[in-house]
Amino acid sequence: MRLLSRATRRGLVAATAAGALALGLAAALPAVNAMAAAGCSVTYTVNQWQGGFTANITIKNLGDAINGWTLGFNFTDSGQKVTQGWSATYAQSGAAVTAASMSYNAALATGASASIGFNGSWTTANPNPVGFALNGVTCTGSPMPTTGGPSPSTRPSGSPSASPRPSSSPSASPSQPTGQTPVAINGQLRVCGVNLCNQYNRPIQLRGMSTHGLQWFANCYNDASLNALASDWLADLLRISMYVQEQGYETNPSGFTNQVNNLVEEATERGLYALIDFHTLTPGDPMYNLERAKTFFAAVSARHASKNNVIYEITNEPNGVSWSTIKSYAEQVIPVIRANDPDAVVIVGTRAWSSLGVSEGGNATEVINNKVNAANVMYAFHFYAASHQANYRSELERAAASLPMFVTEFGTVTYTGGGAVDQSSSTAWFDLMDRLKISYANWTYSDANEGSAAFRPGTCAGGNYAGTANLTESGNFVRNRIRTADNFPTS
């Protein structure tokens, strides 16, 4: 997103998680639920490999509302240690572990949930912990033992998100399915010709939403909002937009990496594709962030290498530079991802704020004649319907005859993010993308005080995301298009 209301942004407080990242996972064991009649419930999911594991914990408050919490539990293997954690502050004494809330997830209303996690080491075994307690209130005696999972040395054959699609009920949890998820149906994606294709080598279109900057709107991405995206909006995709500058990644690389990793896990739980956006904007030369990009993509691709639902967008909106510079950047970053995740689709931004050069007087010919030297690559196109109209649509259609295109960001309003919805131009854009099976993510799944936001200001503080009561004009318009039936061919 370019030329947003930066004066508004400067007044927002960044909220980032602490901790670090995991390396490649090798086995996914089933989640177990620890329930209590009152007080709290805990879901603990472990992914393990020889000598190490990643644990993801969802805490649900079943008692009175609280503001500030500590979750306690005990390892049952003396060799287990917390090595890195996120979304909480961890402490360990012997087998006893505590995880204390961060500022942004401290408030838990009755029925509200928080998701945290950590990386750990183990010596001879990796049983589940026992004695979960929230602020001293026991959640359960111990989780049920995990059974039937693959051995730690076995790499999973598919994504842990191969669960059925969430119910259309706004309050439905991802564990209460009625159909199939986008990831369960389509599996590992690949580029075939000019199309994005599923595991059956059939062209598909993914439709979804982009987050706003995680440094400003982290409170908009929680269980309730992501359940609404999957179950109420019936989306296929969550674009996770991590700014590099503007109070973003460069200020706290480990914290922002962990926020991205957490949201990938949340998307995976709901059977959504996760598009990791390295949101470069100013400066427009991607080479300025080359080393940061290598570090970041090495980390996230290692963490998610065993998943089949992760797509990488390696530079958001290059501007003021040549296509050859962007191509050189891509050909240095893509091998870093491929070293860990050889199968994932990678999306490369195009010149002039990912307009294929149109916004700087160019066109797609420069890309068509000089493609990135890598397989499974797509090219980004961005538009804002009130500002970018027939000539931009014509260039996208021309490019799509030769290049695999993905609209990783678009708005229904002006390129500033403000103004009224241009329904006529937006409809023309939707119709074009649907006809050409071009996947897209709308800017933005947030309550920012701007016309492009899906939710009215203050929605993320109130927590009611499902239905239309809190939607803006843009949110309602886009939701209606996303909710139309997917067409995912399987033969």
Per-residue pLDDT of the chain (491 residues; tens, 9 = 90+): 544 332 232 233 223 232 222 222 233 344 444 444 457 888 887 766 666 777 878 888 888 888 899 999 998 887 888 887 777 889 999 889 999 988 767 888 888 888 887 878 877 666 788 889 998 888 863 333 333 333 222 222 233 333 334 333 333 333 323 348 999 999 999 999 999 999 999 999 999 999 999 999 999 999 999 999 999 999 999 999 999 999 999 999 999 999 999 999 999 999 999 999 999 999 999 999 999 999 999 999 999 999 999 999 999 999 999 999 999 999 999 999 999 999 999 999 999 999 999 999 999 999 999 999 999 999 999 999 999 999 999 999 999 999 999 999 999 999 999 999 999 999 999 999 999 999 999 999 999 999 999 999 999 999 899 999 999 999 999 999 999 989 899 88
pTM of this structure: 0.68
Give residue 77's identity as a one-letter amino acid code: D
Active-site residue (options: 269, 317, 395, 450): 317
Report the C-alpha gap between 146 and 166 in whole angstroms. Answer: 23
Please report the pLDDT score of residue 145 as a whole number: 34
The boundaries of every CATH 3.20.20.80 domain in the chain are 6-16+163-482
| Number of C-beta neighbours around residue 474 at 10 A | 25
Active-site annotation holds for 395: no
Q: In the annotation, is 409 catalytic?
A: yes
Residue pointed to by tokens 């995709």: 237
What's the CATH class of domain 32-138?
mainly beta
As given in the structure block, the two tokens for residue 47 are 């992914």
pLDDT at 160 (0 to 100):
31
Q: Specify the pairing of strand 40-49 against strand 32-34.
A: antiparallel
Class of the domain covering 6-16+163-482: alpha beta
What is the per-residue pLDDT for 51? 67
Contacts of 327 (CB under 8 A, 6+ apart): 348, 370, 372
pLDDT at 124: 65
> 33: which 2 tokens?
């639920």
Q: Of 361, 275, 276, 289, give the one whose Cα is nearest residue 318.
A: 289
Predicted local confidence at residue 207, as pLDDT: 98
Q: Residues spanned by CATH 2.60.40.290 within the chain?
A: 32-138
